[in-house]
């Protein structure tokens, strides 16, 4: 899937280990009743409080959390517990009772024993009282978020639900699904039936699978030999989206059974599951469109299934639909048969073996164009008024499909590949096998209104999703902790394929900028390893982040350059061949590479240091004559030292690369594997300068100590001695080191003084990015005068370059993209005569009622300036509603969000959330734009606070959209007041919200902003 751009589940404190209750008469001990509850002993674990634990006396009374803990723990000792105000009552009598009712004094020995027992018991109770975050089990005191065994939860009907884990039991596996669906685009409901052939691995009486929001009306089971379907008891446990079918007799190992269920539900009004979309046709009439988005956990909301990546199966799909509409699914259509008047049924061929999250279907009025290549029919679909914008996507998809088949030495396994533009779609795209779904802006290309950047976006997203047909679909990660195997690989192949097939797009520059941004996130303490343990739905959603995509891809890029491209390619071929139609873990990839290196390099040992560690290394280089000393440490922004993880254990195996003045071309690159904390490299001769991390192909930052001055002089005298990517790399590194406090801000500004001679996109955009960070912080902090001086410095460096730009679409794609970036920046900040020219062009366009064509590369700048006037803003909104070009509409919405009118900004965000006039898919982009401006950044945060519940219902907690909304709406804050406000807001929400990793990242970022201002405000006053 293409995003549009403690690791364990948090457990309540009242969880008690089941086996500790063996002598408690008020607890149902399931382990002692196997005949009633056929459960395996390893199936028990923690359940949240809301699951209604089967412990009588707990959860039934009004108690606060601590009191629940104390009572639970006290029961482990067989004692009563009174609340704190009433104290403890001692029920242990030291007197024996005679048969006649009188008491006799016990012996001294008995008194001593009882006293000792009492002291021990009392001490334990005091410990429990003082350590409320611990729960005692046989193993001792466990922190609340450690996994422990527990009793089973209750189903919705009050009966015991026979499974307590989030992951499904391994004793039943699906082999095949027969799925029949009938969506109704008038009532916006759907009905369905599913037959699942399952194989039993271990004798059991239960089949546990997933279902979410489905009204299941019938459930039966049939054995392989049986001729009659037998009704089964049916239990639901919504907290885990699980259902259990309780068989009337034992299900035997090695046997196949068929589960049959009938159900109904509503088409979803979110972006998940089987969801509905409204759009206007050519006649402005409202039409409905139904599509699916199942990754990661939403197939279960369209049909009952084993909704985990490792449960691969084949699928036979039939869809009943209005005869005026069309349907698409993963496989080619096999037959269409009449059902009733006006309703027909489409049957699709049986699929290949695949995971449930890759199943897809679309029901809509669509048009398409097609072309065959190498036995595969490639088609691009869109709603009728957009079908004239799909030509570029078809050409691109055919070229990329041919490239991938040659590179992987493995044919695309399906007879067809459909690419469908969905009118309202949260992600950039989704790689469903044989039926890839896209946001319209990532698939449609209009020759009149699509810019050079738009062409790169469409190309990149198609390249990403086609790569998934092998990495993700053919070979799938076993569990979501290794999502990077899917997304990191697809991102790596996306940029690699673009370089090979479309070199004129210079996609490597875009990838470089993405790596820089990923490293910003990865340098925070709230970062996470690329491969991280996940269980809850929020944790799984949060894995779809910059690190899984960009860091994962960066590590593969680094490995490819170190192994050489031929060895890397051979390793990929082995990986795909060894694991096709199955699942894989990270180690499987490294093992495949090791088959090719054949002992010359232990790839697994090297790459594990990058996969299991969060963050990245800082390599310090000290040069003395021919001797180069290198030392590694963890690069980490430290705010609160007592809370940060020690980096003493962090040791990466870093494939260092370097060039020198003796030979500074790519073929002269030298390599050295730094697998210790420090090492010494001896050069054959002394050199004038040395540059490490050639072309930023390694995922690390370099500090040159005394040599920064030499590199600064090199850029001033002969900047082309280094490649554009190397120059961008130096700019990025020195500003990050200044932020870390390891280099001075003065030296960073000195390094970019050469920029007035720079003509390449990568270093210019990186410098602009770094200076914009500083400007935005000062601007939002109220330091407008100082912010103005930063902008003056930018104008001094780039003013001539801005003046040289033409307001046309002429030049190479790289030149056009740079023009778009520079003019948009200049118009936003009113540099030179940008706004004058843009205003003239906007007014001419407005007078023509939008009929004349504007140059697509500068359209964004023109619209942004036009939107600053009330008339211009209103006209843009009108044109947005009537435009058929999604590329044009995208530029319009960003311009509308750049107004300084607070009322318009609030209206824009609110209407996007409602999704009527402006689609909800645009909301995160609107908030991002609003957050950048001085009038808007507080409004954006207020909007998020006021609409948090609506936002998380629409986009799901932890989703990429929610991550972006939180990040953008808080990233400009640099005061302790705002820090406290953000902390307090999320702490006031659910535990799931407050524990989101993106919330922790937001807090880290604000703290770093505060720290940066404290360190550098006075220095900037002197420097500027």
Is-contact 973 939, C-beta < 8 A? Answer: no
Nearest to 926 by CA among 904, 898, 901: 898
Is-contact 966 521, C-beta < 8 A? Answer: no
The strand ranges marked E within 641-733 are 654-660, 670-674, 678-682, 690-692, 701-703
> Nearest 5°: CA angle at 136, between 131 and 137?
160
Nearest to 497 by CA among 400, 608, 359: 400
Handedness of CA 911, 914, 920, 926 (dihedral sign): positive
Residue 810, CB-side half-sphere exposure with 13 Å CA sphere: 5
Is-contact 292 431, C-beta < 8 A? Answer: no
Positions marked catalytic:
465
Nearest to 172 by CA among 181, 162, 157: 162
Q: What whole-number distance in Å separates Cα of residue 372 and Cα of residue 379? A: 9
> Nearest 5°: CA angle at 921, between 916 and 926?
90
- Where is 277: in which H helix or E strand? strand 273-280
Q: What whole-number distance in Å separates Cα of residue 478 and Cα of residue 166? A: 15
Q: What whole-number distance in Å separates Cα of residue 518 and Cα of residue 822? A: 23
Is-contact 621 707, C-beta < 8 A? Answer: yes
Is-contact 553 488, C-beta < 8 A? Answer: yes
Q: What whole-number distance in Å separates Cα of residue 352 and Cα of residue 109? A: 76
Residue 317, CB-side half-sphere exposure with 13 Å CA sphere: 24
Q: What whole-number distance in Å separates Cα of residue 83 and Cα of residue 64? A: 10
CB atoms within 10 A of CB 250: 11
Whose structure tokens read 């209604």?
52
Q: What whole-number distance in Å separates Cα of residue 770 and Cα of residue 70? A: 53
Q: Is 633 helix (H, G, I), strand (E, B) or coil?
A: strand
Whose structure tokens read 């044009």?
888
Phi and psi at 438, nearest 5°, equal -135, 150
In the 8-state DSSP scheme, what is residue 9? P
Is-contact 431 403, C-beta < 8 A? Answer: no
Q: Which two tokens stand for residue 475?
A: 């070979």
Is-contact 172 199, C-beta < 8 A? Answer: yes
Q: What whole-number distance in Å separates Cα of residue 290 and Cα of residue 183? A: 8
């Amino acid at each position: 899937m293409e995003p549009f751009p403690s690791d364990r589940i948090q457990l309540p404190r009242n969880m008690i280990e089941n086996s500790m209750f063996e002598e408690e008469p008020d607890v149902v001990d399931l382990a002692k009743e196997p005949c009633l509850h056929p459960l395996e002993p390893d199936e028990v674990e923690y359940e949240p409080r809301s699951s209604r634990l089967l412990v009588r006396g707990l959860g039934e009374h009004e108690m606060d959390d601590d009191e629940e803990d104390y009572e639970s723990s006290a029961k482990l000792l067989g004692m009563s517990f009174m609340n704190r105000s009433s104290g403890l009552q001692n029920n242990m009598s030291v007197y024996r009772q005679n048969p006649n009712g009188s008491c006799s004094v016990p012996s001294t020995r008995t008194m001593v024993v009882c006293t000792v027992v009492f002291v021990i018991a009392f001490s334990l109770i005091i410990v429990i009282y003082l350590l409320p975050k611990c729960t005692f089990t046989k193993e001792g005191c466990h922190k609340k978020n450690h996994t422990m065994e527990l009793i089973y939860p209750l189903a919705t009907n009050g009966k015991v639900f026979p499974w307590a884990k989030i992951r499904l039991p391994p004793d039943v596996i699906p082999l095949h699904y027969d799925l029949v669906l009938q969506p109704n685009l008038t009532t916006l409901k759907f009905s369905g039936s599913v037959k699942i052939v399952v194989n039993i691995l271990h004798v059991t009486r239960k089949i546990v699978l997933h279902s979410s929001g489905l009204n299941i009306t019938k459930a039966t089971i049939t054995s392989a030999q049986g001729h009659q379907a037998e009704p089964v008891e049916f239990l639901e446990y919504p907290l885990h989206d699980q259902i259990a079918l309780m068989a009337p007799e034992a299900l035997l190992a090695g046997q196949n059974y068929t589960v049959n269920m009938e159900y109904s539900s509503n088409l979803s009004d979110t972006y998940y599951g089987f969801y509905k979309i409204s759009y206007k046709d050519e006649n402005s009439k409202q039409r409905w469109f139904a599509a699916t988005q199942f990754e990661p956990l939403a197939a279960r909301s369209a049909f009952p299934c084993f909704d985990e990546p490792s449960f691969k199966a084949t699928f036979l799909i039939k869809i009943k639909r209005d005869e005026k509409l069309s349907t698409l699914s993963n496989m080619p259509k096999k037959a269409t048969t009449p059902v009733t008047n006006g309703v027909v049924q489409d049957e699709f061929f049986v699929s290949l073996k695949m995971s449930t999250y890759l199943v897809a279907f679309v029901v809509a009025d669509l048009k398409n164009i097609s072309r065959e290549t190498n036995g595969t029919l490639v088609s691009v679909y869109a709603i009728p008024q957009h079908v004239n914008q799909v030509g570029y996507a078809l050409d691109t998809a055919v070229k990329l499909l041919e490239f991938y088949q040659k590179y992987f030495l493995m044919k695309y396994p399906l007879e067809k590949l459909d690419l469908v533009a969905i009118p309202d779609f949260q992600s950039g795209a989704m790689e469903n096998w044989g039926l890839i779904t896209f946001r319209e802006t990532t698939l449609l290309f209009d020759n009149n209104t699509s810019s050079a950047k738009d062409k790169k976006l469409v190309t990149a997203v198609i390249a990403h999703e086609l790569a998934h047909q092998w990495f993700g679909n053919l070979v799938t990660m076993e569990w979501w902790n290794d999502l990077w195997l899917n997304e990191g690989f697809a991102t790596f192949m996306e940029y690699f394929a673009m370089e090979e097939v479309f070199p004129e797009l210079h996609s490597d520059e875009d990838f470089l900028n993405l790596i820089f941004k990923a490293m910003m996130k990865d340098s925070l303490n709230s970062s996470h390893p690329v491969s991280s343990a996940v269980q809850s739905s929020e944790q799984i959603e949060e894995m779809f982040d910059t690190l899984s995509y960009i860091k994962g891809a960066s590590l593969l890029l680094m490995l490819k350059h170190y192994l050489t491209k031929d060895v890397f390619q051979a390793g990929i071929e082995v990986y795909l061949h060894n694991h096709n139609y199955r699942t894989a873990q990270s180690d499987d990839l490294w093992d495949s590479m090791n088959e090719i290196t054949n002992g010359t390099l232990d790839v697994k040992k090297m790459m594990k240091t990058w996969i299991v560690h969060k963050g990245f290394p800082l390599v310090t280089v000290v040069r003395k004559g021919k001797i180069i000393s290198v030392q590694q440490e963890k690069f980490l922004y430290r705010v609160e030292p007592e809370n940060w993880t020690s980096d003493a254990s962090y040791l990466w195996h870093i494939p260092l690369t370097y060039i020198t003045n003796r030979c500074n071309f790519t073929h002269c690159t030298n390599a050295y594997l730094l697998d210790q904390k420090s090492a010494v490299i001896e050069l054959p001769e002394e050199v004038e300068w040395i540059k490490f991390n050639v072309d930023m192909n390694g995922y690390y930052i370099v500090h040159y100590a005394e040599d920064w001055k030499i590199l600064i002089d090199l850029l001033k005298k002969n900047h082309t001695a280094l490649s554009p990517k190397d120059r961008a790399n130096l700019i990025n590194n020195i500003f990050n080191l200044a932020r870390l406090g390891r280099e001075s801000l003065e030296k960073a500004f000195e390094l970019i003084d050469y920029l007035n001679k720079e003509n390449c996109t990568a270093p210019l955009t990186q410098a602009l990015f770094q200076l914009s960070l500083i400007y935005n912080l000062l601007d939002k902090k109220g330091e407008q005068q100082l912010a103005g001086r930063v902008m003056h410095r930018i104008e001094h460096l780039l003013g001539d370059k801005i003046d040289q730009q033409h307001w046309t679409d002429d030049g190479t794609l790289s030149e056009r993209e740079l023009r778009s970036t520079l003019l948009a920046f200049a118009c936003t900040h009113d540099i030179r005569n940008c706004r004058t020219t843009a205003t003239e062009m906007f007014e001419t366009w407005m007078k023509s009622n939008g009929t004349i064509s504007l140059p697509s590369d500068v359209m964004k700048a023109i619209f942004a300036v036009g939107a600053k006037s009330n008339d211009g803003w209103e006209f843009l909104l009108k044109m947005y509603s009537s435009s058929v070009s999604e590329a044009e509409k995208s530029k319009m919405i960003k311009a509308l969000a750049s107004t300084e009118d607070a009322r318009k900004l609030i209206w824009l965000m609110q209407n996007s959330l409602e999704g009527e006039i402006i689609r909800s898919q645009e909301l995160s982009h609107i908030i991002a734009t609003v957050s950048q401006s001085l009038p808007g950044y507080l409004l954006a945060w207020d909007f998020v606070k006021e609409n948090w519940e609506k936002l998380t219902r629409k986009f799901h907690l932890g989703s990429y959209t929610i991550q972006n909304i939180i990040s953008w709406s808080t990233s400009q804050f640099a005061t302790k007041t705002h820090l406290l406000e953000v902390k307090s807001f999320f702490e006031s929400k659910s535990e799931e919200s407050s524990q989101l990793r993106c919330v922790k990242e937001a807090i880290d970022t604000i703290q770093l902003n505060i720290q940066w201002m404290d360190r550098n405000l006075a220095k900037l006053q002197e420097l500027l």
